[in-house]
């Protein structure tokens, strides 16, 4: 009888665990949670959001670099206007490039540099920085499973 009760209890908890993140990586910024794809190797970081026609609301891409340093992102072959958030090793916002337009100029697309050394970069649909009211120094929270690198 005890085993049956335990099984029913665990079965009841299973759907609740899936509701929190649906197995998807997530970050939270200024009280808003975003499901993210994680780009944590050179190939994934280089590909980024190239050639995508859209980015679903409430989603983004988190780039995890190997070391904290000044970074510059560009929009080569990116079809979606984005806000690009740069975070340091302490997960504090260094700078944000707002409303970065798509670029089809290949290697002639302009770079959008961080205002200081960064380790993590978050790309969200353009306009999110304004909606969130982000400011330099805001912190980002990572859900389970997101690799942490170079943190103090």
Domain count, the chain: 1
How far is it, in rounded angstroms, from Cα 82 to Cα 80? 6
The pLDDT tens digits of the residues spanning 27-67 come to 999 999 999 999 999 999 999 999 999 999 999 999 999 99
- Within a domain: 150: no
25: domain CATH number?
A: 2.60.120.1140
- Within a domain: 11: no
- Within a domain: 107: yes
- Within a domain: 12: no
For 91, the enclosing helix (H) or strand (E) is: none
- Within a domain: 91: yes
**What residue numbers bound the domain in which 38 lies?**
21-142
How far is it, in rounded angstroms, from Cα 96 to Cα 3? 53
The pLDDT tens digits of the residues spanning 105-126 come to 989 999 999 999 999 999 999 9
- Within a domain: 117: yes
How far are the Cα atoms of 1, 69, 100 from residue 11, in angstroms, in the given order? Answer: 15, 46, 46
Which two three-digit tokens encode residue 132? 């969130």
């Amino acid at each position: 009888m005890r085993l049956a009760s335990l099984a029913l209890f665990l079965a009841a908890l299973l759907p609740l665990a899936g509701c929190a993140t649906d197995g998807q990586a997530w970050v939270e910024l200024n009280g808003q949670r975003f499901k993210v794809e994680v780009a944590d190797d050179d190939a994934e970081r280089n590909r980024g959001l190239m050639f995508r026609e859209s980015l679903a609301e409430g989603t983004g891409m988190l780039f995890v670099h190997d070391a904290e340093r000044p970074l510059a992102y560009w929009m080569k072959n990116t079809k979606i206007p984005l806000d690009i958030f740069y975070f340091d090793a302490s997960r504090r916002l260094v700078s944000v490039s707002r409303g970065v337009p798509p670029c089809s100029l290949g290697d002639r697309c302009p770079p959008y540099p961080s205002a200081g050394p960064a380790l993590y970069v978050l790309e969200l649909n353009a306009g999110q920085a304004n909606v969130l009211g982000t400011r330099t120094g805001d912190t980002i929270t990572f859900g389970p499973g997101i690799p942490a690198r170079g943190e103090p």
